[in-house]
Amino acid sequence: MVFRFWLCLFLQLPTSLLGGAALVPRERFPLRVEGRFIVDRLGERVKWACVNWYGPESISFTFGGLEKRPVEDVVKRISDLGFNCVRVAYSLEAHVRNPTLEEQFVKANRFLIGKTFLDGFDAGIEALSNAGLMVIIDQHVSRAGYCCHWSQDEGLWYVPGYPEETWIQSLVNMTQRYKGNPFVVGMDLRNEVHDLHSNPKWGSGLMMTWGDGNPKTDWAAAATRAGNRVLAENQDMLIVVMALCFGMELRPMRSQPISLDLPNRVVYQTHNYIEYQFWNLITRDLGISFSTLRIATLISGVFFAAILSFLSRSWRRTGRAYPPRQLLLVSLGAWLTVFSCLFLGVAFAAYKAACTYCEWGAQQDFLPWVYFWSLTAVVGLVLVVVSWRPSGTASVAELLQVDKYVMQSDESCDEETDLFQKSDDRGGGSSGSGRDITKPWDRGLVIRLQCFIVSVILLVMCGVGLFAAIVVDTYWFYERWLDKQWGFALEEGQPFTAPVWMGEFGYLNHGPFWLMFMRYLSSRDVDFAYWAINGIKYSEGFNGADGVYRPLPGGARWVVELYGILGPDWQTVKKAWMVRDLQALMDSPSRWLPTDIGCVTDFLGHFCDVPFRGPDV
């Protein structure tokens, strides 16, 4: 009993004793890039196992937690949890204005009362460096405040009041300021660059590009200009370049990797949250899990298969009468057009929805489907037209008689049977195998033919839907999706090979999304920075799903950071399983193993927490 008590207590206290990333001694700096890895002066792998510590980019202008604990205590907690580096954010507004810090934000650090933003920033970086933690400075936003939403212009590196030169000069000044500190190892040029949608300030909006030379949208060119200016000030700095589309999209780099004046300096950065994979949005918006979708598509498929079976038996009872070829082709073409138009609408809606987050990616992944279904609809329409006005000896009167006959089944059959016989003769029909091609086709048979065609299409749709609901919920699909988006850069020996740093990710639940992403980071041995250490944040408002900014009722205030590692006291670990998983990723190679899921419903807006049960064996 005593042993079990101490074992349970041990499992609930994640500290550096349970694991942690190796600290880099001062004499091992500066860092360089070698292939897909970051290495030290001796060429040994240095894995960035980081955490985000934000605040200076917000309207508080200083690090979170300084209102609760001395800066050294917060840093010690970060170090105790095993991290070896910290990503720290700031805004151009804070740097340019250098405002005085309010007492409410630094009341646990009395020496900062009445001091400025730069004083507070210096204090944080000094404490981190004294603890042996590497620092990556993140130029997060231009204007201090809430970030990051698709409707905000902060996705550009320039905004009204803060042009490109101000942005670059700020990066250069920060580089100068910490040039003598070897623990400041990287400059993160800009956070979550993304497309700008239409608004009163920018008109029709802008789509971010890579390598096309457009000075307003070419992020690769802007990053190259800024990176070279930083390296001109400090050649030992690593240059961190954000992927397009909130950090989702690195594919343009495959053909156009960034080349700076000094080689072996570029680290690419990506971000990942559950909404970054579009299939997770499907489950969120429908409010059901993939297991429910699988059951629904399976039941629907059985239903349509039963309808087909019934129609087939009914057809056999009529003597297996073949439909006239023209009727069959017109029916197939018409339904092909109808369903193609339906799928075209879905594909176009998906394309426009994807454009909200990433127009470049939408053009690669969704626009081809728009073209495909457009072409299919045209093919169906052409089939209808060609079949309705066939070449050959069929007269207009005969075609009109066919149409009249199909719609009026109560007329005499002799003349019409002869007409269909002639139609089938021209169509190469066969009377073999006991099939009666002269069986008159009345309205009932025509309706059954349409039902048969529609049921076949719907059955195929159910099969495809079932396959998709199975596949997209697997690690196999997830792995290939991330490899396509940015994981390809980790392949050694390629012209585009480079380190990829997962600079932000976070989640609430120990469920499938978390476990699959942990598995991917582990299998690819990816450098990372979890979002975030912060227990609470000072927030003034947010942008809703519709893009409209909504201030918090009653004004700015402290709110809980849902993804935060620490609690509001900036000491207690909120989720022990999270820290254990992150600590397992810190080694190189990673020693992470999947743990019991314990929570099968895992879509946005659902809270589910489970106790740690240990690795699978």
Over 114-133, what HEC string results? CCEHHHHHHHHHHHHHHCCC
Three-class DSSP labels, 83-94: CCEEEEEEEHHH
**pLDDT computed for residue 408 by the predictor:** 41
- How many CB atoms lie under 10 A from the CB of residue 160? 10
One-character DSSP codes across 338-352 = HHHHHHHHHHHHHHH
The runs of H, that is alpha helices, within 472-562 are: 475-485, 512-524
From first CA to last CA, the distance across the chain in angstroms is 25
Do 534 and 547 belong together in one domain? yes
- How many CB atoms lie under 10 A from the CB of residue 437? 20
Q: Give the tens place of pLDDT for each residue, 195-237.
A: 987 655 555 578 999 999 999 999 999 999 999 999 999 999 9
Selection from 67, 74, 167, 147 nearest residue 110 by Cα: 67
Q: At what angle do helices 414-426 and 396-407 cross, to 10 degrees?
A: 120
Q: Which amino acid is at 299?
A: I
User: How many domains are there within the chain?
Assistant: 2
Do 293 and 427 belong together in one domain? yes
Q: Do residues 70 and 110 make contact, with C-beta atoms less than 8 angstroms apart?
A: no
Is 3 a domain residue? no
CATH number of the structural domain spanning residue 503? 3.20.20.80
Do 215 and 294 belong together in one domain? no
Q: Give the CA radius of gyration of the chain.
A: 31
Do 351 and 372 belong together in one domain? yes
Is 611 a domain residue? no
**pLDDT computed for residue 279 by the predictor:** 85
Q: Do residues 592 and 518 make contact, with C-beta atoms less than 8 angstroms apart?
A: yes
**pLDDT computed for residue 554 by the predictor:** 81
**pLDDT computed for residue 19 by the predictor:** 64
Is 103 a domain residue? yes
Do 142 and 255 belong together in one domain? yes
Q: Do residues 94 and 54 make contact, with C-beta atoms less than 8 angstroms apart?
A: no
**pLDDT computed for residue 319 by the predictor:** 73
- How many CB atoms lie under 10 A from the CB of residue 453? 18
Q: Do residues 138 and 89 make contact, with C-beta atoms less than 8 angstroms apart?
A: yes
- Distance from C-alpha of 285 to C-alpha of 312, rounded to nearest angstrom: 38
Selection from 530, 503, 489 nearest residue 138 by Cα: 503
Do 399 and 447 belong together in one domain? yes
Give the three-state DSSP class for 330.
helix
Cis peptide before 529 (omega within 30 of 0): no
Token digits for 369? 């489907």
Q: Distance from CA of residue 120 to its chain's centroid?
A: 34
Do 436 and 503 belong together in one domain? no
One-character DSSP codes across 166-210 = HHHHHHHHHHHHTTT-TTEEEEE--S----B--BTTTBT-B--BS
How far is residue 575 from each of residues 13, 133, 190, 580, measured CA to CA in Å? 10, 23, 30, 9
What domain range includes position 448? 287-471
Give the three-state DSSP class for 17.
helix
Do 302 and 377 belong together in one domain? yes
How far is residue 297 from each of residues 14, 303, 338, 468, measured CA to CA in Å? 43, 10, 21, 10
What own/partner pairs with CB < 8 Å and gap ≥ 24 does 511-514 have? 511/597, 511/598, 511/599, 511/600, 511/601, 511/602, 511/608, 512/473, 512/597, 512/600, 512/602, 513/274, 513/280, 513/602, 514/581
Q: Which amino acid is at 269?
A: Q
Do 467 and 479 belong together in one domain? no
List the chain residues with pLDDT less than 70. 1-19, 198-204, 320, 389-441, 543-548, 594-617
Looking at 449, 471, 493, which one is the last position of a domain? Answer: 471
Give the position of tokens 């297996």. 320
Token digits for 229? 């200016």
- Distance from C-alpha of 66 to C-alpha of 555, rounded to nearest angstrom: 21
Give the three-state DSSP class for 390.
coil
Is 74 a domain residue? yes
Q: Do residues 128 and 121 make contact, with C-beta atoms less than 8 angstroms apart?
A: no
- Distance from C-alpha of 173 to C-alpha of 79, rounded to nearest angstrom: 28
Q: What residues contact residue 326 under an 8 Å CB cut-off, 6+ apart?
A: 387, 388, 390, 394, 399, 402, 423, 427
Give the position of tokens 């894995």. 47
How far is residue 90 from each of residues 58, 73, 136, measured CA to CA in Å? 8, 21, 11
Do 329 and 407 belong together in one domain? yes
Looking at 471, 487, 522, which one is the last position of a domain? Answer: 471
DSSP 139: E
CA dihedral over 412, 415, 421, 427, signed as positive or negative: negative
CA dihedral over 217, 351, 356, 563, signed as positive or negative: negative
Token digits for 486? 């940015």
Is 411 a domain residue? yes
268: enclosing H helix or E strand: strand 266-272
Do 199 and 161 belong together in one domain? yes
Do 87 and 188 belong together in one domain? yes
Is 370 a domain residue? yes
Looking at 471, 491, 517, which one is the last position of a domain? Answer: 471
Is 596 a domain residue? no
Q: Strands 37-39, 32-34: parallel, antiparallel or unpaired by DSSP?
A: antiparallel
E strand spans, 492-535: 500-505, 527-530
Is 391 a domain residue? yes
DSSP 430: -
DSSP 61: -
DSSP 111: G
- Distance from C-alpha of 433 to C-alpha of 439, rounded to nearest angstrom: 14
